[in-house]
Amino acid sequence: QVQLVESGGGLVQPGGSLRLSCTASGFTFSSAGLRWFRQAPGKQREMVALITSTGITNYLDSVKGRFTISRDNAKNMVYLQMASLKPEDTAVYYCAVLQGMTYWGQGTQVTVAA
C-alpha cells in the first residue's frame, strides 16, 4: 500500500533554510509525479511544488527562487529545499502522490519565527 512519510520540519528564523524529506513506498516511484503541499491555520491547502517523473518542476509563485524540489529515484525520496524562509511560510507541509487517488503523508510542521 502507498505510504509517504515526511521529516525535517522544525523551527527556523526568518531568512533561514530547511530541507524537508519524504520517503515513499508502495508504488512505482520512478514513474510517479510527486508534490509538496502546505496548509497554514485558517487557510486552504496549497500546492507548493511539483516534480514530474522526468524531472520537470513547477512552483507556487510565492516560493519561486526560494524553494527547490528534487527527487532521488534510487532512494524513493523526494525533497523540498527551502531557503530565505518567511513567517508566511509557516505551515504543515505534506508530500503527496496521485495513484488513482491522492495519497498524503502525515505532514511535518515548519515554523518560521524570530
Q: What digits encode the pLDDT tens for the residues 72-113?
A: 999 999 999 999 999 999 999 999 999 999 999 999 999 999
Q: What is the pLDDT, as a whole number, of residue 37?
A: 98
Cβ atoms of 86 and 112 closer than 8 Å: yes
pLDDT one-digit tens code per residue, 7-29: 999 999 999 999 999 999 999 99
* Structure confidence at residue 97 (pLDDT): 97
Instruction: Compute the radius of gyration of the chain from its Cα atoms.
Output: 13
Summarize the confidence of residues 45-55 as an average pLDDT: 97
Sign of the alpha-carbon dihedral angle for 99, 4, 25, 58: positive
Confidence label for 64 from pLDDT (cuts 50, 70 and 90): very high
> Helical H runs in the chain?
none
